Amino acid sequence: MKKNKFRWLVSTALLSSLMLAACGGGESDDGGGDTDNGESAEGNGETYQWRFVTEENDGQVQYEYAEEFAKRLEEKSDGQITMDVYEFGGLGSEVDQVEQLQSGAVEFAIVSPGFTGTMVEEGQIFALQFLLPDDQEVTHELLNTSEALNEDLAALYEENNIKPLSFWTEGAMQWTGNRELTEPADFEGFKMRTQDSPLIQKSYKAYGADPSVMSWGELYSGLQTGTVDGQENPIFFIADASFHEVQDYMTISNHNTYVAMTTVNPSFYNDLPDDIKEIIDETVEEMRDVGFELQDDLNNELLSEIEENEENPTEVTKLTEEQRDAFRELAIPQRDFYKENAGDQAGEILDKLESEIEELEGE
Ligand code: 6CS
């Protein structure tokens, strides 16, 4: 597996060509092509060249997902569609990437709701710890079927020029730290790195931590130099980004699920001919299980890389249910805060999601 600690160099040439495309200066086979909405593109030889930007690197879940997505689109369209997949950092920060999707400079993006918390406040639902089912298979089913997410929350993203095509899990999240984290008191004064979401920060403040927002591109050095004391992520990401090299402890807390969204620029998508839209929709459906398997395999495989690293040992502790309960007790009141402060529809969306969870867990 490739090791990519941080790739911050933004290609200026690439960025300028994206700016041109966003201003309508792209080649004629870029973006949506010339075919009017509703027509078939198959017969007239229209070709498409699209961009798919991810927040991760080669070998990591989002990038592998996007490569497979691109391959399937190309195969299904008999080469009519080609897609360039971008690693994290190639086009800027996670927040820059969201802006590029909104402007149409890129057609597709994988977006973590944690980076849109100030834009689509209701999307902060994924910051609520101990809300989604512990069983990742059940969470997978929930993300695939939830009306609260796929219809209600998705509509709010669409109002902001981001069309979610699917919500999917990258695995349960764990904590790493320069001290052991097994009870809320351990978070007292702890400098916790978070994504840019007020509710993620609020949730860590409830444990007594001192959260600060940072891009993951700066996180390895942030942990190494002590700018931050710890962070949360799925196991595959901790191992592949080598955060464990600069952290003495990892806690298997399973306190939340890392949710990603496959998204498309809505005007671009709406203007596509029906047969091309069908190819995209079919691929999105197929990728649900492919994405799940990808994260499951990597999360399982890479735990041993952390546990067995003798050069930079990391002590791994799994929380007992009793220990998790102490965190859960402080996390649950954040749901009321979410309902009252995370946008007009937060209450409705959370109530609906909670009843969908109850229904699935009762099966
Ligand atoms: O911690 C983060 O910000 C990064 N974590 C994952 C699992 N994917 C991309 C994201 O930016």
Query: How do residues 262-318 score in pLDDT, each as one tens digit?
Result: 999 999 999 999 999 999 999 999 999 999 999 999 999 999 999 999 999 999 999
d(CA 320, CA 309): 24
Ligand 1 within 6 A of 234 CB? yes
User: Could you tell me the pLDDT band of residue 45, with boundaries at 50, 70 and 90?
Assistant: confident
Average pLDDT in the 249-264 region? 98
Ordered DSSP codes for 267-301: HHHHTS-HHHHHHHHHHHHHHHHHHHHHHHHHHHH
Distances (CA, A) of 164 to 101, 150, 241, 281: 11, 8, 26, 12
Ligand 1 within 6 A of 104 CB? no
Q: Counting atoms of ligand 1 from 1, which one is nearest the CA of 94?
A: 11
Ligand 1 within 6 A of 249 CB? no
d(CA 176, CA 250): 4
Which protein residue's CA is at the shortest distance from atom 9 of ligand 1? 55
d(CA 183, CA 181): 6
Task: Say whether pLDDT at 237 is over 80.
Answer: yes
Ligand 1 within 6 A of 64 CB? no
d(CA 120, CA 43): 40
pTM over 0.75: yes
User: Could you tell me the pLDDT band of residue 44, with boundaries at 50, 70 and 90?
Assistant: low
Which protein residue's CA is at the shortest distance from atom 2 of ligand 1? 216
Q: Counting atoms of ligand 1 from 1, which one is nearest the CA of 260?
A: 8
Task: Say whether pLDDT at 198 is over 80.
Answer: yes
* pLDDT value at residue 27: 35
Ligand 1 centroid from CA 2, angstroms: 16
Tens-place pLDDT, residues 72-124: 999 999 999 999 999 999 899 999 999 999 999 999 999 999 999 999 999 99
Q: Counting atoms of ligand 1 from 1, which one is nearest the CA of 55?
A: 9
Quote the mean pLDDT of the chain: 91
Ligand 1 centroid from CA 33, angstroms: 32
d(CA 163, CA 143): 16
Ligand 1 within 6 A of 56 CB? yes
Domain ranges of the chain: 45-169+258-300, 174-257+308-361
Ligand 1 centroid from CA 194, angstroms: 10
Q: Do the beta carbons of residue 219 and residue 243 sit within 8 Å? A: yes
SS3 33: coil
Q: In sequence order, what are the residues at sequence separation of 6 or more whose Cβ sits closer than 8 angstroms to the Cβ of residue 171?
A: 61, 136, 234, 235, 236, 257, 258, 295, 296, 298, 299
Q: Which residue has the higher pLDDT, 259 or 11?
A: 259
Which protein residue's CA is at the shortest distance from atom 4 of ligand 1? 216
CA 130 to chain centre: 18
- Here the tokens at position 309 are 């690293």
Ligand 1 within 6 A of 174 CB? no
Task: Say whether pLDDT at 1 is over 90.
Answer: no
Task: Say whether pLDDT at 12 is over 70.
Answer: no
pLDDT > 90: percent of the chain: 87
For the domain made up of 45-169+258-300, give the CATH fold. Answer: D-Maltodextrin-Binding Protein; domain 2 (3.40.190)
Task: Say whether pLDDT at 41 is over 90.
Answer: no
Task: Say whether pLDDT at 190 is over 70.
Answer: yes
Task: Say whether pLDDT at 165 is over 80.
Answer: yes
Ligand 1 within 6 A of 54 CB? no
d(CA 283, CA 19): 28
Q: Counting atoms of ligand 1 from 1, which one is nearest the CA of 170?
A: 7
E strands of the chain, at which residues? 48-53, 81-86, 108-111, 163-177, 193-194, 212-213, 230-234, 249-252, 257-264, 315-318
The architecture (CATH level 2) of 174-257+308-361 comes to 3-Layer(aba) Sandwich (3.40)
Partner residues linked to 262 by β-bridges: 110, 166
Tens-place pLDDT, residues 49-65: 999 999 999 999 999 99
Ligand 1 centroid from CA 297, angstroms: 18
* pLDDT value at residue 38: 61
- Here the tokens at position 186 are 């351990």
* pLDDT value at residue 345: 98
* pLDDT value at residue 40: 79
Q: Which residue has the tokens 């690439």?
A: 14
Q: Do the beta carbons of residue 243 and residue 220 sit within 8 Å? A: yes
Using the 8-state DSSP alphabet, how is residue 150 labeled? Answer: I
Which protein residue's CA is at the shortest distance from atom 1 of ligand 1? 216
Cα 100–106–109 angle (5° rounding)?
85
Number of residues in the chain? 363
- Here the tokens at position 222 are 């942030």
Cα 300–254–121 angle (5° rounding)?
120
Average pLDDT in the 133-152 region? 98
- Here the tokens at position 129 are 């710890």
| Parallel, antiparallel or unpaired: strands 315-318 and 249-252 | parallel
* pLDDT value at residue 4: 40
Q: Do the beta carbons of residue 211 and residue 232 sit within 8 Å? A: no
Which protein residue's CA is at the shortest distance from atom 3 of ligand 1? 216
Task: Say whether pLDDT at 161 is over 80.
Answer: yes
Ligand 1 centroid from CA 360, angstroms: 27
Tens-place pLDDT, residues 16-30: 444 444 433 333 344
Same fold, 45-169+258-300 and 174-257+308-361: yes
Ligand 1 within 6 A of 196 CB? no
Ligand 1 within 6 A of 240 CB? no
Ligand 1 within 6 A of 112 CB? yes
